[in-house]
Amino acid sequence: MRPSTKHIAHAKRVFAKNQSMLRTSDAIRLGIHPRTLYSLRDKGQIEQISRGLYRLKSARPLANPDWATVAAKIPRGVICLISALFHHRLTTQVPHAVDIALPSHSRIPKLDFPPIRIFWFSDPAFSSGVATFITDGIPVRVYSPEKTIADCFKYRNKIGLDVAVEALKTYRESSKKPNLKLVLKFAELNRVQKIMRPYLEAMM
């Protein structure tokens, strides 16, 4: 049975009210029948951004499609490490994947695109230093510059100590009001204060 014109119009309105992007589970929860959803897809009126994530074809192009997709698909995740450094302009590295922090023992998300790297954070490290900004109408969670620097020292064996040191130096030189005491606070939270202290003391 084909969806009625009324159901198609309702589905489009629901998409429009949700930044033109919906996960399958959210679409169904908001009253869109799966048959209607797949009919819209087959007619080319919505496009599949990733597995289980759809967007109105008529919507204007996304300014930051990778982050918008990740935030919509993994709303609990937090942008971290290289990706967060890039966002805060604290690195010369170009991210080849979106770095995402998730709580320890979380289910591994399924995402076809963009490529992601998952890092498991335990509390209180996971929930500390999180800021939210809006891109393409979608809330994106990202760690603050100070928290990100401390995280980079914690994961220095995976991303490189030189990347962490560069970020700390750039933060000190480019920030209008660098808060090195806050950086140290997050370093203590991550238990890397002994590693970071010589670099911090050289800058204070």
Contacts of 95 (CB under 8 A, 6+ apart): 82, 83, 86
Q: Which residues contact 9 (CB under 8 A, 6 or more apart)?
A: none
Q: What is the pLDDT of residue 123?
A: 92
Residue 183 has a pLDDT of: 93
Helix (H) or strand (E) holding 151: helix 145-154
Residues of the chain with pLDDT under 70: 1, 204
What pLDDT, on a 0 to 100 scale, did the predictor assign at position 55? 84
Kindly report the CATH number that applies to the domain delimited by 65-203.
3.30.460
Question: What's residue 1's pLDDT?
Answer: 66
73-101 per-position pLDDT tens digit: 899 999 999 999 999 999 999 889 999 99
| Res 23: pLDDT | 84
Per-residue model confidence (pLDDT) at position 182: 94
- The pLDDT value given to residue 204: 66
Asked if 33 contacts 7 with a C-beta cutoff of 8 angstroms, the reply is yes
Q: What pLDDT, on the 0 to 100 scale, is given for residue 142?
A: 97
Query: What is the domain partition of the chain in residue ranges?
Result: 5-56, 65-203
The model's pTM is 0.78
